[in-house]
Amino acid sequence: MQAHEIMIKQVYKVKENDKIRAVIEKFIDHHISGLPVVNDRNEIVGYISDGDIMRYIGKHEDKVIDFFFYLAVFQGDVDEFDARTEALLNANVMDIAKRKVTTVAWNEEIENIAAILGKKQIKKLPVQRNGVLVGIISRGDVIRNVFKIK
């Protein structure tokens, strides 16, 4: 069984110039926890997950986000946490997205996909064909297709 046989073809994604606000909206609207980031040619340039968001909701030291944070605090009487979350919403997705993305080819065998998901301890794998995003496979997709139990 190959990736193209089990992958989800309708992939929720964000563009590399989108704001984190668009990511959060897709997470909430579609009940998902991660998104591939693509350029205008639909090539994968990053991946952003709820874990990446969690790291920035908490206290951190990041020059890009901190610039917006200090700007928000300076402009008014804003709570520190509120300023940090507002700054995050207005940041560019590529400011915090992972740029080194593990992907699989559209014809990758399911055994290899399972091995990658397990070894890398990731939940989803973007699928590409000729360098373009064509689908996504989750751990659940692999389990459902390997074990046909009702």
What is the per-residue pLDDT for 108? 97
Q: Could you give all domains of the chain from N- to C-terminal order, each with its CATH number? A: 3-146 (3.10.580.10)
Using CA atoms, how far apart are residues 66 and 78, in angstroms rounded to an integer? 14
Q: What stretch of H or E contains 111?
A: helix 110-120
> How would you write the pLDDT of the chain (150 residues) with one tens digit per residue?
999 999 999 999 999 999 999 999 999 999 999 999 999 999 999 999 999 888 877 765 555 555 555 555 555 555 667 777 887 888 999 999 999 999 999 999 999 999 999 999 999 999 999 999 999 999 999 999 999 776
CA distances from 128 to 52, 70, 107, 140, 141 (A): 23, 39, 9, 19, 16
C-alpha dihedral sign at 24, 25, 28, 31: negative
